[in-house]
Structure 1
């Protein structure tokens, strides 16, 4: 039976819902809309605008790999504060970050749409700059988003950069320090396990971020968003099922996952793509000191990776009871 939302709602809640809709729209609809707009312009009297943009795109093609082009006015837009209050989302600091150092931060878990990572690192709605003065944060995402006209510029304005080694090396090459490169380590594969009560991380064989930290002498920072997996329900797709096999194949071919998820709608609470109103608390752990090693061996990478897993587990165990995680629940790695 469909449960309709009440008609009489405070304006504050309506603004929160609008902010959420804009965020969902950016991931699910905006890429296709941008492609259609670019092609459409070519078939109108404004075709020259599309041609000039294409020319600019060629000149500017390397910018997503060179730190992007953030727009602070957009990052500080009040709309993101309404989105923050929708869940709500909070950012918790457990240790200082020295602005004279560079950092590689692992974000866990991925969830369906990385709401915690987006609001905490791509906007100032939770006060990241006030909590960590002198730190300039960058969040990596799939290169495919930067191959979409107009969308690439919109994403770069939030501080998003491409998820490849060249992009990471550019951010971490700042000799004066103060850069934090955030990587959602579990990536697209981890989306397929994102559901309420799930604490399985795709991390056991993900070591590229550790090698990157060693090569640049950047401290490793574990970050865990409690509540990230609670935002959507997902159709059951256990490993080995026909649905999971299809999803894995699509991921291999296209580079991103297709989880069958749902939350609630705008005018009814039974089904839709709007996330549930459930709190997210993103806890930033203590930095792990890393000795710069230009050509780290496999043993050095493995050793640091094991230490990272231990520190991430400690972070989870220390804070889980505060954020309604059962005492018997532990992180699992695959």
Structure 2
């Protein structure tokens, strides 16, 4: 029996739904539509628009790898407030971030769509600039996401940047500090494990961000987003299943894969691609001070990595009961 949403609802209830619908559309289809429009215009009398954009795109090709191009106007749009209200999403600070320092933040877990990472770190939906004054946030994303025309410019406005080592070096080397470079460490591989009630992180062998922190003397910030895995279900893909085998092959060959997720619909509650109304609470842990080491040894990297994992586990244990995680539930780090 399909359970439909009430026909008449206040506008304040409808707007968050359509804000998240916009977010899902942007994730799944906007980049493809941008390609279709760009190529399609070449065969119309408006072909010059695509040509002019192609010239601009060529001249601007390195921007995603050079710190991006943020827009405070886009980041402060009201639509992100409605996105936050839908779940709702909240940002919790446990310690200050000194705006004279640069930081690398590890964001955990990825979840299906990294919704908490995007809303908290790429928009002002939860008031990032008020919570951490003087901090400019950047979130790393796979470089192929910046290939699509116009779409690349749109996502850069929020602070998304290419996940290249050179790009990270450029941001972390800026004089004056105040830069927070966030990395969703588990990536797509972790997203394939995301489902309600799970706390499985891909982290044990992810040490590149640790080496970056040592090389540039950037303090580390562990971030755990409670509820990130709870907003969508995923088609069964346990290790050994044919679907997981297929997803792993795609991930190894393209560095990307899309989890087959599902949730509720826009006008009914039984099926669809809309996330569930479940809270996401993103907790920013205390900083781990890092001594600049231009050429860190593997031993130094391993030692700091162990400390980071310990601090992340402490953060999870300290806050889990507040956010409805069972007392006997612990992080599984693989």
Offset from partner CA, 1:93-124 (integer Å, 9 cap, x none): 00011111100000000001111111111111
Matches of 2:170 and 2:273 in 1, distance apart? 36
Tell me the SS of whatever aligns to 1:9.
coil
| 1:248 and 2:271 aligned | no
Matches of 1:5 and 1:253 in 2, distance apart? 41
Offset from partner CA, 1:23-44 (integer Å, 9 cap, x none): 0010101011000010001111
Tell me the SS of whatever aligns to 2:155.
helix
User: Aligned ranges for residues 165-204 of structure 1 at < 5 Å?
Assistant: 165-204=165-204
Aligned to 1:41: 41
Matches of 1:137 and 1:282 in 2, distance apart? 15
Aligned to 1:295: 295
Aligned to 2:64: 64
Q: Tell me if structure 2 keeps the 8 A contact 1:250–1:258.
A: no
Offset from partner CA, 1:7-59 (integer Å, 9 cap, x none): 12111111000100110010101011000010001111111110111111110
Matches of 1:326 and 1:236 in 2, distance apart? 23
Tell me the SS of whatever aligns to 2:82.
helix
Aligned-CA RMSD value: 0.7
Tell me the SS of whatever aligns to 1:137.
strand
User: Aligned ranges for residues 276-287 of structure 1 at < 5 Å?
Assistant: 276-287=276-287
Offset from partner CA, 1:292-322 (integer Å, 9 cap, x none): 0111111000000000000000000000000
Aligned to 2:120: 120
| TM-score, L = length of structure 2 | 0.99
Aligned to 1:314: 314
Matches of 1:4 and 1:43 in 2, distance apart? 43
Matches of 2:12 and 2:188 in 1, distance apart? 33
User: Aligned ranges for residues 69-80 of structure 1 at < 5 Å?
Assistant: 69-80=69-80
Offset from partner CA, 1:133-163 (integer Å, 9 cap, x none): 1111100011111011111000001011001
User: Aligned ranges for residues 221-232 of structure 1 at < 5 Å?
Assistant: 221-232=221-232
Tell me the SS of whatever aligns to 2:268.
coil
Aligned to 2:333: 333
Tell me the SS of whatever aligns to 1:84.
helix
Q: Which shifted more, 7-16 or 301-310?
A: 7-16
Tell me the SS of whatever aligns to 1:243.
helix
Matches of 1:321 and 1:257 in 2, distance apart? 32
Q: How many pairs are equivalent?
A: 334
Gaps of 5+ in 1: none
| 1:160 and 2:156 aligned | no
Following superposition, the deviation at residue 237 of structure 1 comes to 1.1
Offset from partner CA, 1:209-228 (integer Å, 9 cap, x none): 00000000000000000000
Tell me the SS of whatever aligns to 1:228.
coil
Offset from partner CA, 1:149-206 (integer Å, 9 cap, x none): 1110000010110011011111101121110000000001011001000100000100
Matches of 1:127 and 1:83 in 2, distance apart? 13
Aligned to 1:27: 27
Matches of 1:18 and 1:109 in 2, distance apart? 25
Matches of 1:77 and 1:106 in 2, distance apart? 26
Matches of 1:253 and 1:207 in 2, distance apart? 21
Following superposition, the deviation at residue 258 of structure 1 comes to 2.1
| 1:55 and 2:55 aligned | yes
Q: Tell me if structure 2 keeps the 8 A contact 1:145–1:152.
A: yes
Matches of 2:258 and 2:124 in 1, distance apart? 29
Following superposition, the deviation at residue 131 of structure 1 comes to 1.1
